[in-house]
Amino acid sequence: MYKEEYKRWLEADLIDCDLKPELMRIKDDDEAIKERFAVSLQFGTAGLRGTLGAGTNRMNIWVVRQATQGVADWVKTQGGTQTVAISYDSRLKGYTFAKDAAGVLAANGINVRIYDELMPVPALSFATRYYKCNAGIMVTASHNPAQYNGYKAYGPDGCQMTDDAAAIVYDAIQKTDVLTGAKYMSFAEGVEKGLIRFVGDDCKEAFYEAIEARQVRPGLAASSGLKLVYSPLNGTGLVPVTRILKDLGITDVTIVPEQEYPNGYFTTCSYPNPEIFAALEKGLELAKEVGADLMLATDPDADRVGVAMKCPDGSYELVTGNEMGVLLLDYICAGRIEQGTMPKNPVAVKSIVSTPLADKVAEHYGVELRSVLTGFKWIGDQIAQLEAAGEVDRFIFGFEESYGYLAGPYVRDKDAVIASMLICEMAAYYRSIGSSLKQRMEEIYAQYGRYLNQVDSFEFPGLTGMDKMAGIMNSLRKEPPAEIGGRNVVGVKDYAKPEETGLPKANVLIYTLDNGSAVVVRPSGTEPKIKTYFTTLGKDLEAAQTEKKTLADALSPLFS
């Protein structure tokens, strides 16, 4: 079957000049043909993501058109404005895929609002809501290596598409022939017919205004003398982040020159993920050179931000996603109480794999902290529930340990633009009172305990990878461990059983141990990986690290 599909592609007019040579190169390589054509990229709540190339199991214009026809079929059943917003980041072929998606939508009689420049995930979420769209499309592979691209689909609320909607779209995709099934008109024809229009300056300005309205201590940053190094990691953050910093009055900003402008090859960091040291290395070098107080790096679609803070001894320390989530929650709560802007019955939200230290901080300030499944759409869903009850202003902050943050309900996905603004404002504030981010973090640990949160990943590449992952999760459920690293398991929470968790079904296991430590086992939703999240609590950092190592060493054989 896959050989017939390969032959059909080989004989078709593939338009993209990169596809035919690739097919010719693999004509005698059965394994390479099978890998590209035996399966199709799966469309789920995270949309599509895969390596660029020819075939049904690759990201290319034909797979994008097929997916967009599925989205169009769903939109046409929804009534409303019959409009879809589109944005794209600096990924290779990103603008081509965005224009092709617009062409498919226009051919289906659906209106399109597309950005005239690359813009990040939060801007797409904002435009979807601003224009009262039925859906949104973001062409991005987030932080994946350069050979990847992807396609995130959003619902009318600006959240990533719900499971139910994604299932309907997936069914429509299954009925659409990848090469011939999608309706299509050229981008130029769509513009000429008035079906395709660019996102207006009014929408762009409203996005910035919504972010700036969430300042905790307005005006404070301008007089702080904060010295900043920033890297957009060759992605979409440059324009919105520098615009916000300028509006805040932060003028001493040095951009990492090799990572300033869009570059889908990501030549200076092969894995543009702000969670890892390699992505921040250039920025750290520059921070040391200029003596910056703070170094920020946003990922290519600018929905996540990594931070290095200057310590009192002049060295720089990377801040984990959990630590920054806790610092921001603490700063927002304390600042809004001080300023008299804290809403009645405030709500913050975090994912179930994020640090329990946040629960302690929220409790201290009298804030309700809700825990939801991994994936920022579940945080967005909590905002939507508050909105439906007429209480949307109760939401003050949401975060995930994977460096995603949001303050305010103006979008429904994580936003590195507002996170950058608040991190800089927070650093400026602590500087103004003779403190620092590092000092405040140590104070939080002294007050609540020395928590350590670390994540390990195990990769399962190839066509059999997903089966291996499923087998491991099944084994853990059939034969749950009685102890891990000499610590007795005193509680097991299986999120595949919503009747026990009160949350939607998810492939996540959490083990609570007799000394208060916890281990989470969760397959990634976007990559062939199983992630293990460790929470340990020690009298100091060394004790917490030793405990983590003991637990990790005990678990790792299960994933080999």
Q: Using an 8 Å Cβ cutoff, are 58 and 179 in contact? A: no
**486 CB neighbour count, 10 Å cutoff:** 11
Rounded CA separation 527/455 (Å): 15
User: Among all chains, which residue has been given the structure tokens 């398991």?
Assistant: 489
User: Among all chains, which residue has been given the structure tokens 């990492």?
Assistant: 256
Catalytic residue list contains 556: no
Q: pTM of the full predicted structure? A: 0.95
User: Among all chains, which residue has been given the structure tokens 């983590």?
Assistant: 548
> How is domain 42-199 classified at the CATH fold level?
Alpha-D-Glucose-1,6-Bisphosphate; Chain A, domain 3 (3.40.120)
> How is domain 450-559 classified at the CATH fold level?
TATA-Binding Protein (3.30.310)
Amino acid residing at 18: D
The pLDDT assigned to 38 comes to: 95
Give the helix/strand (H/E) hosting 26. Answer: none
**Strand, helix or coil at 303?**
coil
CA-based nearest residue to 258, from 291, 239, 230: 230
Q: Using an 8 Å Cβ cutoff, are 379 and 415 in contact? A: no
Q: Using an 8 Å Cβ cutoff, are 500 and 477 in contact? A: no
From 87, 125, 142, 231, active-site residue: 142
Assigned CATH for 218-448: 3.40.120.10
The pLDDT assigned to 528 comes to: 85
Locate all alpha helices (DSSP H) within 179-276, ordered by sequence.
187-192, 201-212, 238-248
Strands 368-372, 347-351: pairing kind:
parallel
- CB under 8 Å to 310, separation ≥6 — which residues? 287, 292, 293, 294, 316, 436, 438
The pLDDT assigned to 16 comes to: 94
Radius of gyration of the chain (CA): 24
Domain ranges of the chain: 42-199, 218-448, 450-559
Sign, CA torsion 150/154/158/162: negative
Q: Exposed/middle/buried for 4, CB within 10 Å: 0-12, 13-18, 19+?
A: exposed
**387 CB neighbour count, 10 Å cutoff:** 16
The pLDDT assigned to 466 comes to: 85
Rounded CA separation 336/334 (Å): 6
The pLDDT assigned to 171 comes to: 96
User: pLDDT in tens for each of the 560 residues of the chain?
Assistant: 899 999 999 999 999 999 999 999 999 999 999 999 999 999 987 899 999 999 999 999 999 999 999 999 999 999 999 999 999 999 999 999 999 999 999 999 999 999 999 999 999 999 999 999 999 999 999 999 999 999 999 999 999 998 899 999 999 999 999 999 999 999 999 999 999 999 999 999 999 999 999 999 999 999 999 999 999 999 999 999 999 999 999 999 999 999 999 999 999 998 999 999 999 999 999 999 999 999 999 999 999 999 999 998 999 999 999 999 999 999 999 999 999 999 999 999 999 999 999 999 999 999 999 999 999 999 999 999 999 999 999 999 999 999 999 999 999 999 999 999 999 999 999 999 999 999 999 999 999 999 999 999 999 987 788 889 999 999 999 999 999 999 999 999 999 999 999 999 999 999 999 998 999 999 987 678 999 999 999 999 999 999 999 999 999 999 98
* Fold matches, 42-199 and 218-448: yes
Strands 148-154, 135-139: pairing kind:
antiparallel
Rounded CA separation 486/440 (Å): 34
Strands 529-538, 450-459: pairing kind:
antiparallel
Amino acid residing at 388: A
Rounded CA separation 23/147 (Å): 17
The pLDDT assigned to 268 comes to: 94
- CB under 8 Å to 340, separation ≥6 — which residues? none
